[in-house]
Amino acid sequence: MDDVSEPVGIVQASIDGREASSGVLGAAKAHTCCRKAQWMGLSRDWGNVARKISLLVTKSVITMQGGREDDRDARSRVERPTRSVGPAGNASAGGSGSGRNNVVVKVGMVGDAQVGKTSLMVKYVEGKFDEDYIHTLGVNFMEKTIALRNTEITFSIWDLGGHREFISMLPLVCNDAVAILFMFDLSRKATLTSIKEWYRQVRSINKNAFPFLVGMKYDHFANFAIEEQEDITKQARKFAKAMKAPLIFTSASHSINVQKVFKVVLSKVFDLKCTVPIIDRVGDPILQY
């Protein structure tokens, strides 16, 4: 694939059920430049959108490349469109002033508190990592647009706070999403066990989104005894198989598999050939799809 890491625009917001605030993301301090934009219309016919993007950019051009992990978006520029913050459609295709075609891909992130959801989102969008725990109050929302030849693909990423008090906001994250990242902390086995309940609740809202099982904090997990790594990896693989989901171990703090998570998402959503190398040896950062 062409450089799927090339950023075009970034947007951030936060919703706690009462008001929108950009201050909740301590790690996401954005410099903004104003640009008018229209909120892309909702589209529930994902099959048609997938066919459109396949026609716009041929599969021979969009081939997923493994490449070296590079989360430093030095070329990023932050933009805050004048559109309102609200649930994105699962996909929306349209034109832009630059002559590019636009597609929006909504991605939901769920999992227990402190597993690393916000850290992964901020790392992917802004290339930053904050050592301090970022407590998500309700829902965090960020966007990142990448360029693929004449097509702009905007990841609309929605992160739900893991505390049960925010479970009523799960539909906001899941409705119209085409991909859901089920996230757990590799260093806390209980957060993997919780995936069963998260999966049940998500599927009661959205039965069609592609599932992805993402193990966070691989940098801590790598220090575990090999027997413990084998046990947790075995259970994670069992869950991923039952969910029919790719399994990816990542670390936001050490930039391990951060970009590749979203490359695999693109390959699944658009049914593209993915050449990101598969890693299946226990002790290494697992990447299976």
> Which DSSP string do the residues of the chain spell out, in sequence order?
---TT-EEEEEEEEE-SS-B-SSS-TT-----EEE--PPPPP---HHHHHHHHHHHS-TTT--B---------TT--BEEESSPP-PPPS--EEE-TTS-EEEEEEEEEE-STTSSHHHHHHHHHHS---SS-----SEEEEEEEEEETTEEEEEEEEEE-SSGGGGGGHHHHHTT-SEEEEEEETT-HHHHHTHHHHHHHHHHH-SSSEEEEEEE-HHHHTTS-HHHHHHHHHHHHHHHHHHT--EEE-BTTTTBSHHHHHHHHHHHHTT--B-SPPB-SBTB--EE-
pLDDT, one tens digit per residue, over 45-93 is 444 444 444 434 333 333 334 444 443 332 332 233 322 233 333 444 5
Mean pLDDT for 108-122 is: 96
Judge whether residue 26 has pLDDT over 90.
Answer: no
Pick the residue with more confidence: 225 or 77? 225
pLDDT of residue 136: 75
pLDDT of residue 111: 97
pLDDT of residue 98: 60
Mean pLDDT for 13-27 is: 39
CATH H-level superfamily of 7-288: P-loop containing nucleotide triphosphate hydrolases (3.40.50.300)
Mean pLDDT for 275-280 is: 96
Mean pLDDT for 231-238 is: 98
Mean pLDDT for 29-44 is: 31
Most confident range (mean pLDDT) of 22-31, 139-148, 186-195, 266-275 is 186-195
Judge whether residue 218 has pLDDT over 50.
Answer: yes
Pick the residue with more confidence: 13 or 117? 117
